Amino acid sequence: MTHPGVPLRVVSYNIHGQRDDTAALAAVIREAAPDVVIVQEGPRRFRWREKSATLAASFGLVVAAGGLPALGNLLLTSLRVRVVDTRCRRFPLTPGRHLRGAAYADCRVGTSAWFTVAGSHLSTDAAERPGQAELFRRDVAAAPYPVIAAADLNEEPGGPAWTTVARGLTDAAVAVDRGERFTYSCADPRRRIDALFVDPRITVIDYDVVDTPLTRRASDHFPVLVDLLLPAAG
């Protein structure tokens, strides 16, 4: 007996530390109506728990994982998603550089569709990125369920860190022939540095880089919006 897939809508978004138009930011997410939002540059300092909860509420979502323990990587979900386990990682610090990390959550939709969501934000330093990418890849490879991994890689396709993270996964943009869509910057879009990869068992239905007047006010990155079909267990 075959089991139908379960739809899931995911947004990956570098929100620029909420330094832009926060009302526009909230409107962008509410209009997209995602099940999961993978945030880069979320709250990570003083009162980060309260700030993360406030951000999630402005989106109509709840906090699943991340924040300070993941150095600003934050995973948010709708009430449709049940989070069953979470973990965070901090990458080794290179003196003089910013701390970086990653957040992970094992989740379930309904009774049969299990998945692991992973989010990270790699260094702007080309010498530091590959090591962080390898740690992120190892975590993703060890995930107990089919993975949805999104990150601001600070690097374009073909680079060493991008290639490392992408190993064994499907680039959602390429899967639906949208690899030419740039994600950064909103002021002058010339680079695709925000990536979303999925386990080959997950079907990519649609992919979009949302370029609207609202998204141009909300952050310096465009959000990546992906519709997926999760495999349903027997």
Task: Summarize pLDDT for 208-226 with one digit per residue, the tens.
Answer: 999 999 999 999 999 999 9
CB distance 100 to 91 below 8 Å: yes
Topology (CATH) of 6-230:
Deoxyribonuclease I; Chain A (3.60.10)
pLDDT over 70, % of the chain: 97
pLDDT at 125: 93
Q: What is the DSSP string of the chain?
A: -----EEEEEEEEE-GGG-S-HHHHHHHHHHH--SEEEEES---STTHHHHHHHHHHHHT-EEEEESGGGTT-EEEE-TTEEEEEEEEEEPPPPTTS---EEEEEEEEETTTEEEEEEEEE--S-TTTHHHHHHHHHHHHHT-SS-EEEEEE-SS-TTSHHHHHHHTTSEEHHHHTT-TT---B-SSS--B--EEEEE-TTSEEEEEEE--SHHHHHH-SBPPEEEEEEEPPP-
pLDDT of 164 strictly over 60: yes
Q: 219, 186 in Cβ contact below 8 A?
A: yes
Question: pLDDT tens digit string along 41-76?
Answer: 999 989 999 999 999 999 999 999 999 999 999 999
pLDDT for res 1: 39
pLDDT at 99: 87
pLDDT value at position 98? 77
Report whether pLDDT(233) > 80.
Answer: no
166-193 residue pLDDT tens: 999 999 999 999 999 999 999 999 999 9
Which pLDDT score is estimated for 3?
52
> CB-hemisphere CA count at 13 Å for 156?
11
**Whole-number average pLDDT of the chain:** 95
Q: Is the pTM of this model over 0.85?
A: yes
Q: Residue ranges of the domains in the chain?
A: 6-230
